[in-house]
Amino acid sequence: MSSYFDLLYAFVFLPLTVLIYAIVPKKHKYIILLLASFLFFILISKQLVVFLILSIISIYLGARRLTKLDKELESKLSTLEKEEKKPLKEKYKKKKRLVLIAVILFNVAFLFSFKYLKFFLTNTNLLLNLLHIDYEFKIIKFLAPIGISFYTLQAIGYIVDVYNGKASSEKNILKLALFLSFFPQIMEGPIARYEETSSSLYKGHKVTYKNLCFGYQRILYGFFKKMVIADRLNILVKIVFNNYMNYSGLTAWLGVIGYTLMLYAEFSGTMDVVIGSAEIFGIKLPENFRQPFFAKNISEFWTRWHISLGAWFRNYIFYPVSLSKPMKKITTSARKVLGNHYGPLISGAVALLAVWLLNGLWHGAGWTYIVFGLYHFVLILLGSIMEGLVIKACKKLNINRENKVYRILQSIKMTFFVFIGEMIFRAPTLAVAGGMLKKMFTDFSIKNVSLSTLGLDIGDVIVIIVGVIFIFVISLLKEKNIDIRKKIAKKPIYIRWALYYALIMSIIIFGAYGAGYAPVDPIYADF
């Protein structure tokens, strides 16, 4: 088993876990989920499970220590006079901060060693070479445990929430282990907060007919997105990105648009399988996508695409950095000079830079990811600076910003910026990204545009177009708050099963598998 799209997962691992979960007594159901989660992890990452266990133990001990310190402080405060309370509170704050920093560093050290050590050593060697220092570090690269980037963020979020008193520390280490390693989530998120999913994970729900139907329905939709759209587009994307120099700018555009659609189909499809899997157990995971291509601007796009990652960066980096004491001092001075609107933008910009640099690096150790982050930092900051001017200009020109045409133009502009961003994201090196960008804006010749050179035939193109329209219509209905699943559930049984059957058949017939196709590897699982 290597991913959620492995047939072994959907037809053996998941049904067996559901079966055992259904027959085990309510109070032990969470143990079944924990065992399944560890089995899932071991099947993919084998002995690297030891790092997951070490991470869980560190988070557990850290959180319990924080709670103990809170209780100690509380009992001591009740016996003290008012003026003695403040220094004691400060003393405990320092103690708690030490625990928090130690636990975070311990977990980040794993992440760094697995993910960034090679990048760091390679670039240090380049720098030493530039400075004519005759020394070279030996490059070491470890194989990373699955989902380390996801569970590390979720674990840090939990310990920070406990530190801030926003989550209670879990007494039962097995329950905490389940929260941190729940198998549908561990590989690609969504990165959940403890208060969001924990009680549902531990409750031990009944497996109902409705949950089974809704869960598998969603899983099927995920398979459709991945196998019919993403795996088919993968051929085109690979060819264009690997040989862009042999193609015209128009073909490069085709590759870039294809990649953006592929990434959406692959990642949102994975989320459908993930959320659908959890739904079967009666567990509601947070949504990670909300029709991103309907966003008005790039800043909004990132609140609709990989929602849980954006929320994590907002809660644990953006606000803590921008509202830290030194930043607040800067804001106070800046407001006097730049006014109430633009003054706070300075601390906002510093925090935004931190968010997007980390966001880029989180996706991978490479310069393309760093540039991808900086690109979004610049776009979002400029958007915010310009917002006031745009509102004024529209007022002067009598343009209604809620007007449909204006909204569509906004979405087109936003999508254009998304394409460029995803091109940088996918390019193997910055040189390739630069080369492709140049082609896309300077070479409009029609050479090598024939489908055969792009690895597709007319049938593939029709399937992709129909598939994308299908996803677009479903997204449009969702955007209009129409609950399609509930509507389908109300239809007579023969219509429902005809729909399921059609979806299954479309995956079997139109799925891009077998000779000539190369399925997309789970993209986000590698981050």
Does the protein bind another protein through residue 413 (CB under 8 A)? no
**C-beta of 411: minimal distance to another protein in Å?**
14
Q: Name the residue with tokens 């949102």.
A: 268
Does the protein bind another protein through residue 341 (CB under 8 A)? yes
Does the protein bind another protein through residue 217 (CB under 8 A)? no
**C-beta of 63: minimal distance to another protein in Å?**
16
Does the protein bind another protein through residue 288 (CB under 8 A)? no
Q: Name the residue with tokens 């103990």.
A: 68
The length of the chain is: 527
Count the alpha carbons within 13 Å of 527 in the hemisphere toward its beta carbon: 21
Of 331, 345, 290, 337, the C-alpha closest to 474 is 290
Q: Given the complex with another protein, which of 164 and 246 has the nearer CB atom?
A: 164
Cα–Cα distance measured from residue 261 to residue 225, given in angstroms and rounded to the nearest whole number:
10
Does the protein bind another protein through residue 343 (CB under 8 A)? yes
SS3 305: strand
Cβ neighbourhood burial of 278 (10 Å; 0-12, 13-18, 19+): buried
Does the protein bind another protein through residue 197 (CB under 8 A)? no
Does the protein bind another protein through residue 335 (CB under 8 A)? yes
Does the protein bind another protein through residue 365 (CB under 8 A)? no
Q: Given the complex with another protein, which of 45 and 359 has the nearer CB atom?
A: 359
Question: Measured in whole angstroms, how far is the alpha carbon of residue 116 from the centre of its chain?
Answer: 19
What does the DSSP assignment read for 85-137?
Answer: HHHHHHHHHHHHHHHHHHHHHHHHHHHIIIIIHHHHHHHHHHHHHHTT----P
Does the protein bind another protein through residue 352 (CB under 8 A)? yes
Pattern 165-194, binding to another protein, x per CB under 8 A? xx----------------------------
Q: Answer for the pair 102, 62: CB distance below 8 angstroms, yes or no.
A: yes
**C-beta of 299: minimal distance to another protein in Å?**
6
Q: Which of 171, 401, 413, 491 binds another protein (CB under 8 A)?
A: 401
* Candidate segments 347-355, 371-379, 453-461, 473-481, binder of another protein by CB under 8 A: 347-355
Q: Given the complex with another protein, which of 87 and 165 has the nearer CB atom?
A: 165
Of 69, 52, 54, the C-alpha closest to 163 is 69
Residues 145-164 that bind another protein (CB under 8 A): 164
Binding site for another protein (CB under 8 A): 164-166, 296, 299-300, 303, 314-315, 318-320, 322-323, 328, 331-332, 335, 340-341, 343-345, 347-348, 351-352, 380, 384, 391, 401
